[in-house]
Structure 1
Amino acid sequence: MIKIRKKILAVLLTAAMLVLMSSLVAWSDEQPATDDGTSQTEQTTDDGASADDKQDDKKDDKKDDKEKLRTDEEGLADMSVVAENDSYKLYFDESTTNFAVQSKSDNYVWWATPLNADKDENAKTAQKKNMQSPLYVVYGDVSSHTSQRMSIYDASIKSDDFSFEPIENGVKVIYRLSKIEAEIPMTITLEKDNVNVSVITEEIKEKQATDTSGLVLLEIGMLQFFNAAGMEDEGYMVVPDGSGAVINYNNRRYNAQAYNGEVYGRDTSIGMLTRPSKTEQVYLPVIGAVTNGEKTNHGYMAVAKSGETCASVNATVSGQNSTSYNNTWFEFKVRAEDTYYMGNRKLTVYEQGKINQPNLTVGYYPLAKENLSYVDIAEAYRNYLIEQKGFKDKSDNIKNSYYLDLYGGTIKAQSIAGFPVNLETAATTYEQAQEIIKQLNELGVDDIVANYNDFNGAGIKGMITADVNYAGTLGGKDAYKTLAEYVGSINSKLFASAGITSMKDSGNGYSYTLNACKAITKAYATTNNWDIAFGIPNQVRLVTKTTLSPYYWPDLYNKIIKSFTSEGITTINLDDATTLLYSDFSRENYSRADTMNKLVEGYKQFKDAGFTLLASGANAYALPYVDYLTDVPVTSSNFDLFDYDIPFYEIVIHGYLPYTTKAVNASANANDTIMLALLTATPVHYDMMYADPNDFTDSDYETLFYSNYKGWLEPSAKVYKLYQDELKDFANLHITGYNRISGDEMETEFDGGKTIRVNTREMTLTVNGKEIDLAQYGLKGETDE
């Protein structure tokens, strides 16, 4: 009897193992993350796969193996032409809502969703449905504080619960999602050189949730598999992380985390429970891909034209997302969510009310060219900025300037009669700033673009700048005027930095609390200082900051313009107001999109008043308005999924806008930063203070430990001389080509066929075929002279 039981148990265990093995995909031994970061089981649940779906897997797999893959011609035969122009035809499938763009010149087809997605042998039913979905949504349950993802195919298409109608140059589709009682309209229109896909947010219909129950739309992913490349394709995807990065198709990095980068950085009005990872920002809302090799030289550039302030850039490779495809796409967070602790319980709350975002619009620009590359994607994006956003060529004003950031002072605890007292403490007085610049000029640096951080009382105290307010701690008005006159006399520029976003204290008419933004929870939106060791908020040593509500900016712009103009200061840096973007959840119509619009209005106002703007980093919306730009990254965040970095940002702006790198002496490896800057003929940049940085431990300046001017004057002057001697002719040229010869050796081509080649490991520089001796510029040992 016992033997019989053992045999029965053995049979049952064997059967269970067979069932388990049959459910695994080809990549299962690698245990990949899905495209949204969930496990394979969670993804199936999120996509609503039922037991019937699992049964369908077996049937579909057997049927798909026998079916021949459809050709482009066969796919288009089932579709209708809904728009066309001189270059393209737009096809639409009335039964699936899939669409395609066909080139009239060579008949190449860009598919919105893969034509043969249902035949992917490496994907199960849930993934196949996802691949056939023009959109997917993430919705939150207010009562359970949880969220789930759902494909439009599952929610609407497979049950024919959608409708469509022709519109000018395209078609409008309305998806009805009965499970969450929502309706989402999407338009597809053919423009002159691109296809616009747009979710019309003001026409989204939802059943209104209460504070304690109901479902709310949180995110909408758009065309996740647009022109997705298969395992047989050669090529790569481009993402705008930092300087830019390339992800090769089929790079077999199955265990790497899928890429997700928030466009324009994190919304600081949304709380963080732990310190975020240190990464580069996504400054440009653009993605692209190139498919090359023997088959084709085609690709695309896609730009988030509207709704980019709530977008993130995403990318996965074949195997990583349990499919055979490589894909990059935009995902839009239409409602914000915040997390907090109630006792030991972690809770998530969702933004309530009507969706407060503009239309979510992505323009897909087909590209076709022999030897197509990421340079063409960058050029297409630059043309978009010029034609649609007013980005202008400032090449007449571009020189290989020396960029300098000076730091005036901050609040520092000092001992008075044995008691610690917080006092204004100078790091670089006006007289000392003049001495630093004078010493640089005596070393041969004759074109300096200097940004003076915390040059006034408001900056030192961490308040909002509303007027010039010369700092007595730094020397007063006369000393500043003397400094400004000297800088002008040596053909250089001095920019005064004015902070209009963050405040550590009340003053100048703006309260730390009364005028601050609020989070979803209605608490004040604060920027934490993080404990270096544990990654948790540290409010003991450093003061937290709140952010000024954009509601007050129009009045603030007027105050600054009036005060600075009256003092003869028309060169200004608005601090982080070109990179920091946040919401104010205490007011209606103050989403990040509204904040961006308020900022752009401000840039225009300053320009109309005759100001010259320097930006310490710039999101795309600021580029048309800035005159000088610092802190352009030379690398990406170096995520595991990336194959290599490219100077995508530099290609977009070089020869159009004067710009520089992040501070060389702030880099982990100064020589690497210099070599990568030389590669694109990008002038270099240094941070300096006159005082000993070690005196500023436990203050806002504690991270500037590297910045004492004494050790950087001569080395930086030598690098400046290198630019003047060898790269002077490259300053205002456009980049026309970029080639990675090896992992360490790269070459950039400019207008007229001029070239710069560097080897970052061996530290060699070759300009137009001539090898430059870097030793004489202090970059490679000592010269023999």
Structure 2
Amino acid sequence: MRRIIWFLLMALVLSLFVSAYAYELRAEDEGFTLISENETKALLFNEKTTEIRLVDLETGKAWDSSEMNGSQGNRTIKSLQKSAVQATFITNAQTSPVTTTAMDSYTYSVSNETFEWQLIENGVEITYTIGDNAYIIDDLPKAIRVDKYQKIIENSDWSTSQKKDFDANYRAVPQKDSEYEYMIRVKDDSLSALLIKKLYEMIFTSGVYTQEDLLEDNAAVNYVRTYSPKIHVTVRYQLDGDDLVFTVPCASISTTEGNELVSLNALPYMLTADNTQEGYIFVPDGSGALISLNNQKLSATPYLMPVYGSDALINADDYVSRRTDVALPVVAIKRTDSSMMGIIEKGYEMATISANVSGHSDEFNRVTLTFAIRNIENVALAGNESITSSRYADDIYQGDIVIRYKWLTDENANYLDFAKVYREYLLKGGQLNESEADENAPFFMEILGAVNKDKFILGIPYQSTVQATTIDQAKEIYELAREKGIDNIQMIYSGLFKGGIKNAALTDLALDSGIGSEKALNELSELLSKNGDTFYPGVYWGRVYTERDFKPLKNASRKHDGDPAMVYTFGEPVLKHSRTNHQGYYISPYYLEEYTDEALDNFEEFDLTGINLFDLGNTPIGDHKRKENLSRIHAIGVFEDALEEISDEYELMLDKPLLYAFKFADSATNLPRGDNGFAVTDYSIPFIQWVLDGSLNYSSESWNTESYMGYENQLLWALESKSAPRFTFSYEKPSIYANTEDVDYMAYYSSQYTDSLDIAAEMYQIYNDFYKQVADAEVSEHVILDGNVRRVTYDNGVTVYLNYSYADALVGDVTVPAQSYVIEKEVAP
């Protein structure tokens, strides 16, 4: 009777939450209950497995949050396939490194029936208690008072074997300062799980001995018990228009003492496709990358990259490969009949993206999002790297992790649609602004000014600079570029100020000695403005490359070991940082606001309209001061405030901007050209460029400093991605960079303007002719015909054929020469 009443009550509750659209469950929906629906989607919930199913009402297609019928993989993988989350937490904080373990919600909660759920607006909330239900040693009493032991014997029917097992592990021991004698557990380290369970049943089954007795007896012998690790995690699924929104409120996460949460893998099998599907995985690697489903790259390492790159304060002294950081917290997977995008709305600063293909661990291709709640670092003690202590910030994120899933049900939806959907999402959310296209294509011109270099007095080195291009020489190069037909010049003048390219503190702003006068600088800036061009002095704003006018112990970010975090230059051949005199310090976010105010006051001395920031839009860091921990996710707001303050005064050009900086940028430079070259990826696409097109001008790296790629190849990428040309020029001969002891300057050997200004003008004219045809147009189709031949079509009828290969290619009736392109314009009837 009670069961019938319960089902009637649940039916009543469900009727209150489900609208009048009345999706009718199908045979394939067996086990699911309709919990929410709207005009386009229905949300189903399986009360036994906690699986979610999203149904498109127009097509009838369904997408599940888990893979409940996987046929391949070991026991751990098969459990993960069915799980909503996988939690990794500390099991022993006394070891170094700390010991951690991972438990999934299916094996350690759903199977144990240790979860609760309730309906909420437009969805469901589930709370998992994740932990191993197996008995551990401390589920047994450490001591049993002898008189209680006698009562257990009297009320139990122990066999001879059971009595032998008990006597082998408990012995009567008199206790000082106690009137009672106790049976003490003596073999803690050697008890098997089977024997622990057997003893537990012997002691507690009769009901004579209780948990209250256990606590009382343990306290009598001053024993503190440990508990089997448990973690409580709440997740929410909610319909929001066409989208499914998945939320983990981090503030509600709790664990048993000493078992702090390290990371959370969210919906590990939501974005999957089995080995019968055709399509690809999209990851925001570099400019964007595709991983073909079932590509058979089983020897390749799975894709793994943190959003916004690795935390610069973690393992700060270790070499990190020169890869482009992930700028966009978005992933997607295309199956045969539809596609699903995963957009991280909150918590993406902690996220790591991983992707793999079928055949590695099971039959599924998948892309997964894992969130690092605590970044653990092993810190050397007293300078001895063989003795370490595990540390992590106390400033733990207490907000929500939110992933928005956008389902593109059209079977023809592709990666270009992903970019369009994501761009529209950013525009709607105010993270990106729209702008009008310029009449002529921009040309990004970097001028190298003062270069950091060691000089010597009596054999003793000291920090100094040499001038690669003075202000007057920069004016000469600029005027010559104008004469050669280069228009809409965006001049980046690197190394104008004290300290050179790797500048000193901006709180003591002054032109570098020998670069030229303030009057000459203002005249150059005014000249560019008069011609409709823009002048951007290039500076590091989030770091300083000197200890003059800067107090590292007070104003630099700290690492976990307490030392100020330094910005190292690494020598690639030896993978170690070079010990030059030009190392820098990261500015603490606690000091950044004051630093920005003072720097802006100093910039008012010059007649400038723009600033190029090398780092503030791409290197957010926290501060691990002992008593004032500030994790990176909480420091982002400080960087946004600084960018907003600067953008209120100047036009901003940002180097390699990450998502948080987009809305403050007027232009972007040094955007990635292609992906990072992971073996598991198959194709690179200009995804980030498509997202930014129509919002700001952008360029990739300088063509002449990356000349190993060839100008033809760089032009093809510019045409494919609609990226403006960029060149780096210096006036002096390349020998000026000799013995600079800085590998960052190696590319500057090819920067002398006399060697590449003519080719720059030629490339600009070609690109500008193309740009004028598509300036206001949007890409309507992008097709990878093979790895080296591509076709890009715009909504105004312009089609560009691109051939990256070294042989002519035939596309339909169009012959595309090797390392070249063909542009066609559709003729209106």
Q: For structure 1, which runs of at least 5 residues remain unmatched after alignment?
A: 1-71, 209-213, 778-785
Residues 687-732 of structure 1, C-alpha deviation per residue, up to 9 Å, x if partnerless?
A: 2222334332334453233322221111111100112234322233
Equivalent AA in structure 1 for residue 114 of structure 2: D
Cα drift, residue 73 of structure 1: 4.3
Cα drift, residue 276 of structure 1: 1.9
Equivalent AA in structure 2 for residue 125 of structure 1: R
> Which residue pairs with 2:416 in the alignment?
375
Query: What RMSD over aligned residues (CA atoms) do the two structures have, in Å?
Result: 2.6
- Whether the 8 Å CA contact 1:268–1:526 is kept in 2: the answer is no
Q: In structure 2, do the counterparts of structure 1 residues 309 and 104 end up closer, same or farther at CA, with 3 Å as the change threshold? A: same
Match of 1:123 among 73, 94, 97: 73
Cα drift, residue 747 of structure 1: 1.1
- Whether the 8 Å CA contact 1:404–1:685 is kept in 2: the answer is yes
Match of 1:481 among 522, 525, 530: 522
Q: In structure 2, do the counterparts of structure 1 residues 132 and 347 end up closer, same or farther at CA, with 3 Å as the change threshold? A: farther
Greater Cα offset, 581-590 or 476-485: 581-590
> Which residue pairs with 1:302 in the alignment?
342
Residues 38-65 of structure 1, C-alpha deviation per residue, up to 9 Å, x if partnerless?
A: xxxxxxxxxxxxxxxxxxxxxxxxxxxx
- Whether the 8 Å CA contact 1:436–1:709 is kept in 2: the answer is yes
> Which residue pairs with 2:351 in the alignment?
311
> Which residue pairs with 2:368 in the alignment?
329
Cα drift, residue 626 of structure 1: 0.6
Distance 2:398 2:636 in 1: 12
> Which residue pairs with 2:40 in the alignment?
87
Q: In structure 2, do the counterparts of structure 1 residues 768 and 726 end up closer, same or farther at CA, with 3 Å as the change threshold? A: farther
- Whether the 8 Å CA contact 1:613–1:625 is kept in 2: the answer is yes
> Which residue pairs with 1:702 in the alignment?
745
Q: In structure 2, do the counterparts of structure 1 residues 702 and 114 end up closer, same or farther at CA, with 3 Å as the change threshold? A: same
> Which residue pairs with 2:101 in the alignment?
148
2:537 is equivalent to residue 493 of structure 1: no
> Which residue pairs with 1:641 in the alignment?
680
> Which residue pairs with 2:551 in the alignment?
511
> Which residue pairs with 2:765 in the alignment?
721
Match of 2:661 among 617, 622, 630: 622
Match of 2:405 among 364, 389, 405: 364
Distance 1:764 1:656 in 2: 35
Match of 2:774 among 705, 730, 749: 730
* 1:451-490 equivalence runs, <5 A: 451-457=492-498, 459=500, 462-466=503-507, 468-490=509-531
Equivalent AA in structure 2 for residue 685 of structure 1: R
Q: In structure 2, do the counterparts of structure 1 residues 763 and 434 end up closer, same or farther at CA, with 3 Å as the change threshold? A: farther
- Whether the 8 Å CA contact 2:378–2:391 is kept in 1: the answer is no
Q: In structure 2, do the counterparts of structure 1 residues 464 and 368 end up closer, same or farther at CA, with 3 Å as the change threshold? A: farther
Cα drift, residue 387 of structure 1: 0.8
> Which residue pairs with 2:584 in the alignment?
545
Match of 1:443 among 470, 484, 505: 484
> Which residue pairs with 1:228 in the alignment?
272
Match of 2:572 among 532, 553, 562: 532
Cα drift, residue 743 of structure 1: 1.7
2:232 is equivalent to residue 186 of structure 1: no
- Whether the 8 Å CA contact 1:542–1:699 is kept in 2: the answer is no
Residues 272-295 of structure 1, C-alpha deviation per residue, up to 9 Å, x if partnerless?
A: 454222222211111001112xxx
Q: In structure 2, do the counterparts of structure 1 residues 400 and 774 end up closer, same or farther at CA, with 3 Å as the change threshold? A: farther
- Whether the 8 Å CA contact 1:110–1:227 is kept in 2: the answer is no
Distance 1:379 1:318 in 2: 28
- Whether the 8 Å CA contact 1:406–1:452 is kept in 2: the answer is yes
> Which residue pairs with 2:181 in the alignment?
none
Residues 728-777 of structure 1, C-alpha deviation per residue, up to 9 Å, x if partnerless?
A: 22233222211011221111112223211110124889999998999999
Distance 1:94 1:394 in 2: 49
Distance 1:634 1:532 in 2: 21
Cα drift, residue 427 of structure 1: 2.0
Greater Cα offset, 447-456 or 583-592: 583-592
Q: In structure 2, do the counterparts of structure 1 residues 461 and 729 end up closer, same or farther at CA, with 3 Å as the change threshold? A: closer
Q: In structure 2, do the counterparts of structure 1 residues 725 and 418 end up closer, same or farther at CA, with 3 Å as the change threshold? A: same
> Which residue pairs with 1:252 in the alignment?
296
Please, what TM-score do these two structures have when normalized by structure 1?
0.83
Match of 1:739 among 770, 783, 800: 783
Equivalent AA in structure 2 for residue 91 of structure 1: L
Greater Cα offset, 762-771 or 379-388: 762-771
Distance 2:767 2:100 in 1: 54
Identity, % of aligned positions: 23
Distance 1:367 1:776 in 2: 34
- Whether the 8 Å CA contact 1:404–1:687 is kept in 2: the answer is yes
* 1:764-775 equivalence runs, <5 A: none
> Which residue pairs with 2:222 in the alignment?
none
How many correspondences in the alignment? 690
Please, what TM-score do these two structures have when normalized by structure 2?
0.79
Equivalent AA in structure 1 for residue 599 of structure 2: I
2:716 is equivalent to residue 675 of structure 1: yes
- Whether the 8 Å CA contact 1:459–1:498 is kept in 2: the answer is no
* 1:281-292 equivalence runs, <5 A: 281-292=325-336
Distance 1:764 1:93 in 2: 56
Q: In structure 2, do the counterparts of structure 1 residues 769 and 629 end up closer, same or farther at CA, with 3 Å as the change threshold? A: farther
Match of 1:650 among 686, 689, 693: 689
Cα drift, residue 99 of structure 1: 0.8
Q: In structure 2, do the counterparts of structure 1 residues 483 and 399 end up closer, same or farther at CA, with 3 Å as the change threshold? A: same
Equivalent AA in structure 2 for residue 702 of structure 1: Y
Greater Cα offset, 238-247 or 160-169: 160-169
2:86 is equivalent to residue 136 of structure 1: yes
Cα drift, residue 530 of structure 1: 2.0
- Whether the 8 Å CA contact 1:459–1:499 is kept in 2: the answer is no
Greater Cα offset, 247-256 or 343-352: 343-352
Q: In structure 2, do the counterparts of structure 1 residues 732 and 589 end up closer, same or farther at CA, with 3 Å as the change threshold? A: farther
Q: For structure 2, which runs of at least 5 residues remain unmatched after alignment?
A: 1-24, 132-227, 822-829
- Whether the 8 Å CA contact 1:406–1:688 is kept in 2: the answer is yes
Greater Cα offset, 765-774 or 95-104: 765-774
Residues 644-691 of structure 1, C-alpha deviation per residue, up to 9 Å, x if partnerless?
A: 111111221223321111111232313322221122332111122223
Q: In structure 2, do the counterparts of structure 1 residues 692 and 152 end up closer, same or farther at CA, with 3 Å as the change threshold? A: farther
Distance 1:768 1:652 in 2: 30
Equivalent AA in structure 2 for residue 286 of structure 1: V
- Whether the 8 Å CA contact 1:243–1:633 is kept in 2: the answer is yes
Distance 2:110 2:496 in 1: 60
Cα drift, residue 157 of structure 1: 1.8
Match of 1:602 among 642, 655, 663: 642
> Which residue pairs with 2:826 in the alignment?
none
2:612 is equivalent to residue 573 of structure 1: yes
Greater Cα offset, 763-772 or 701-710: 763-772
